[in-house]
Chains A and B, each alone.
Chain A
């Protein structure tokens, strides 16, 4: 019995893991683009981006999932996306907005002198960002990023709202068969996974300990 349940739950958790990694894959760079938009000196772009971030951060991810999955079909008669794709789109946009604010905080916390030192040494903006500022930003945002990433692990289960068979859905299925413990068991999957992430993040932080700034 235990093996059957474990198997089923692993099948479900595989969905969570895919959502997790694909979301990171898309939202980490997308967040940087959103961040540049919200810091743009071109005012309309800046305000548009900030309004977008406000909407995405100000409404539930669950609602965004539903809108992205059903919206295009119901509103414009477009063929609806595959469920999994809809989940990735919604998650990537949502997390990109959160990441963008973390990035912005990080970039704005870097002393102006670092940018100016790059400028007087003849570097262009791109070189200053990638060669001077970026690593310092990464070091500074480690803690808030690890928070956000661990939240993402647990948020992946929201995908069930548009019937993606993720781990909690699978666990809940066993209730029909009179079993409640598989549901608790799902919690262990999240605990182990976020435990691994915590270890990974503290290693990364240690790696960046070689400099101060």
Chain B
């Protein structure tokens, strides 16, 4: 079943096109990894999916139902509703500093009245357990390492059970020795059939976890397909150049 369908998304800033006609789709439980150099539009694409940016053209459907069609104005309520189809984990975690790990996870579900306080709390503790941080429930963000903060952020995003969970370079702000714990959590989510879109610089990780690799360059999808194809046998010259650059650093 197709969970996410993106068709002809375009976005420009002050006349500079950042996304030029992006289309792709994801089946339930599939993971797409978006790779590409800085400025290729990867992050903008994620922001469009989460309605932090409004595409100039194109369509977004979730579970076969169009939720966004360019040109049709969304009401505030629709916008809020649309955002709930997607979760986003940020590069810089963006946990709320004044709340504990548990409170960070609970805040939105409570405000959106997603259930009784008791049930929500149980669910939040379960999520913390799932990301391996049950014993850190009452810690404030500043008391946690970057990797732990990012795992809380993942739990926070999961608490609203989004259909598609997006990651914007989830390990880029972390010390190298802390990336492993975050990637492990993401890999585990995949085994639970989470549909995910991951923008990442970790090519090896992308190759391991993704069903689809999307290589973006200058606002277009230059190459898309299974990891064995895109990463091991890239067809496009641009993809080859990019990957050579990545692997050269080792």
Contact = CB atoms under 8 A, between A and B. Distances in A.
Contacts of B140: 210-212
A121 B108 contact: yes
Interface stretch (B11-19, B80-88, B187-195, B241-249): B80-88
Interface in B77-118: 80-81, 83-84, 86-88, 90, 92, 94-99, 107-108, 111-112
B50 A132 contact: no
Interface string B131-165: 00000000011100000000000001100100000
B83 A119 contact: yes
B76 interface: yes
Interface in A105-141: 111, 113-114, 116-124, 127, 131-132, 135-136, 139
Nearest to A130: B111
A139 B141 CA distance: 16
Contacts of A121: 83, 107-108, 156-157, 160
Nearest to A112: B94
A58 interface: no
Given A114-B94, A136-B98, A210-B140, 16 more contacts: A114-B96, A116-B52, A117-B95, A118-B108, A119-B51, A119-B83, A121-B107, A122-B80, A122-B112, A123-B80, A123-B108, A124-B80, A127-B111, A131-B111, A132-B96, A210-B98
Nearest to A127: B111
Contacts of A139: 98
Interface in A182-213: 210-213
A139 B142 CA distance: 15
14 contacts: A111-B92, A111-B94, A117-B94, A119-B51, A119-B83, A120-B86, A122-B80, A122-B160, A131-B107, A131-B111, A132-B107, A211-B99, A211-B142, A213-B142
A117 B52 contact: no
Contacts of B52: 116, 119-120
Q: How large is the interface on B (under 10, 10 to 19, 20 to 34, 35 or more residues)?
A: 20 to 34
A94 B32 CA distance: 56
Contacts of A135: 98
Nearest to B50: A120
Nearest to A135: B98
Contacts of A122: 80-81, 83-84, 108, 112, 160
Interface in A19-61: none
Interface string B3-43: 00000000000000000000000000000000000000000
A136 to B, nearest CB: 6
Nearest to A113: B94
A80 B28 CA distance: 73
Given A122-B108, A122-B112, A124-B80, A117 B87 contact: no
A119 B86 CA distance: 11
Contacts of A210: 98, 140
B83 A120 contact: yes
